[in-house]
Amino acid sequence: MHDSRPQPAAILPLGDAIVILLITVAGFASHGEGTAFLRMFTTFIPLCVGWGLSAGMLGLYRTESRADLRRLWKPAAAALLGVPLATWLRGAWLGAPILPLFVLVLLAVTAVSMTAWRGVLAVLSRVQAGHG
């Protein structure tokens, strides 16, 4: 029988995409636009691009980084690099100005959410490997 669980290398980008989707949905819901599914792509896709580029540059997709609690500063650093790019891409896509408050809120939410997700994954990976 074939094991359909994601392989370890796929867990990182898949989990990141799920977190970005949750951030996007929560953001739209907080503005009463929870049913604007197609418009959500204007935030989801640029945030995936910005995050993916910065996370890749910082080595966050290396499998060995999964269980390393010393690297938990990197998701916040990736957000600091990736969110401004994402908001610029979003502004260009929509032909709209980039509001500084939006950049700051998205930066904070992304940094906290990604650090939390990567922290939970690191702890679970360490427990599974028997490192406590």
Mean pLDDT, rounded, for 61-87: 92
Domain count, the chain: 1
User: pLDDT value at position 34?
Assistant: 67
On the question of pLDDT at 9 being above 90, the answer is no
Q: Is residue 78 part of a domain?
A: yes
In 3D space, the residue among 7, 124, 118 whose CA is nearest the CA of residue 59 turns out to be 118
Q: Is residue 31 part of a domain?
A: no
Mean pLDDT, rounded, for 73-85: 98
Q: Is residue 83 part of a domain?
A: yes
Q: Is residue 123 part of a domain?
A: yes
Structural domain containing residue 69 = 36-129
Q: Is residue 52 part of a domain?
A: yes
Q: Is residue 20 part of a domain?
A: no
Q: If 0-12 CB within 10 Å is exposed, 13-18 middle and 19+ buried, where does residue 132 land?
A: exposed
Q: Is residue 30 part of a domain?
A: no
Mean pLDDT, rounded, for 95-106: 97
On the question of pLDDT at 108 being above 60, the answer is yes
